[in-house]
Amino acid sequence: MKMNKWAGLTVAVAMTAVLFAGCGGGDAATPSASAAASAKPSASSAPASAEATPEAAPEALEGEITMVGSTSVGPVVTALQEMFHAKYPDVDISVEQNGSGPGIQAAMDGSADIGMASRELKDDEQPLTATQLCLDGISVVVNPENPVKGLTKEQLAQIYKGEITNWKDVGGNDGEIVLVTRESTSGTRGAFEELVLGEGQIDDKLCLVVNSNGDVGKTIEGEPNAIGYMSMGIVENYEIAALTMDEVEPTADNVKSGDYALSRPFLLLTKEEPEGVVKAFIEYMTTDEEAIAYMEEKGYIIP
């Protein structure tokens, strides 16, 4: 019995020593675990670094771009440059609207970074690097009560020159034609004049002059003898009828194929292959979903 008592005491002492050693080992291990944790990057720090990359990207793009040219392309580009500037505030873009001819010349002589043209280039205007922004179709519209369903391009020119003044002369009712046109600064008007009248211009004294596509639509809705023109994409917003031109329907497919006469390309022109911030802006205008959605919403056609 005595021997068993001492044996039990010995075992108890030994167990106490083991437990003490274990506690001491835990205290010693704590700094090492802490150091390892501090040396290892946390899970939250990695995503923060990854998220910082796209936020820094807009700040990295900076510079100045000068654009010169078409008064039809100008309004579209002005809207797109505002959207682009919101993303890249360190990029300053100036847009001067003074016609396709000056825009082509500015691109050729390098006085502008980008020239804007609303027509195809002529042989003597080459070589230039041309990027198509979009296609623009213009519908000629009348009141749905008008029996005239189509005109030739020549008849349309005669109407807007004041040479044909009565609908009966083009197969319609006996009634004086009411001409509706946009204001002189309108890009749509500029395009219409280029495509229909050539070098000529509309005489405001012969017309009702309105300030928007919407005003064109509303005016023609209320006037049975009226005729006007507007961007193709918004005709369906009004109770009006779009005429055929030389027996061709004004549709996006006919614009894309080149069969519809009242259509033209919007071109972005550079003297050389675009680089740097100029390339970035052209790519934004022609490929960015936001930019394309804006143009389609405004009735422009993306081939």
Domain that holds residue 190: 137-257
In angstroms, rounded to a whole number, what is the distance separating the alpha carbons of residues 115 and 106?
6
Q: Is 247 part of any domain? A: yes
Q: Residue 198: what pLDDT?
A: 86
Task: Give the model confidence (pLDDT) of 22-71 as tens digits.
Answer: 444 444 334 444 343 344 443 333 344 344 434 434 457 899 999 999 88
In angstroms, rounded to a whole number, what is the distance separating the alpha carbons of residues 259 and 246?
10
Quote the crossing angle between the two packed helices 276-287 and 289-297, to the nearest 10°. Answer: 50
Q: Residue 59: what pLDDT?
A: 53
Q: Is 119 part of any domain? A: yes
Q: Is 1 part of any domain? A: no
Asked if the model's pLDDT at residue 9 lies above 80, the reply is: no
Q: Is 175 part of any domain? A: yes
**Statement to judge: residues 94 and 83 lie in one domain:** yes
The mean pLDDT value for 239-268 works out to: 93
Q: Is 233 part of any domain? A: yes
Residue ranges with strand state E in the chain: 63-69, 91-97, 114-117, 129-142, 150-151, 178-182, 207-210, 226-231, 241-242, 244-245, 263-270
**Statement to judge: residues 157 and 181 lie in one domain:** yes
**Statement to judge: residues 224 and 269 lie in one domain:** no
pTM of structure: 0.65
The region of weakest confidence among 21-30, 53-62, 173-182, 196-205 is 21-30
Q: How many domains does the chain have?
A: 2
**Statement to judge: residues 68 and 142 lie in one domain:** no
**Statement to judge: residues 77 and 119 lie in one domain:** yes
Asked if the model's pLDDT at residue 155 lies above 90, the reply is: yes
The mean pLDDT value for 255-274 works out to: 92
The CATH code of the domain that includes 275 is: 3.40.190.10
Torsion on CA atoms 80, 299, 203, 245, rounded to nearest 10: 140
Task: Give the model confidence (pLDDT) of 211-242 as tens digits.
Answer: 888 899 999 999 999 999 998 878 888 999 99
**Statement to judge: residues 187 and 251 lie in one domain:** yes
Q: Is 143 part of any domain? A: yes
Asked if the model's pLDDT at residue 2 lies above 70, the reply is: no
- Three-class secondary structure of residue 268 per DSSP: strand
**Statement to judge: residues 145 and 253 lie in one domain:** yes
Percent of the chain with pLDDT over 70: 81
**Statement to judge: residues 154 and 107 lie in one domain:** no
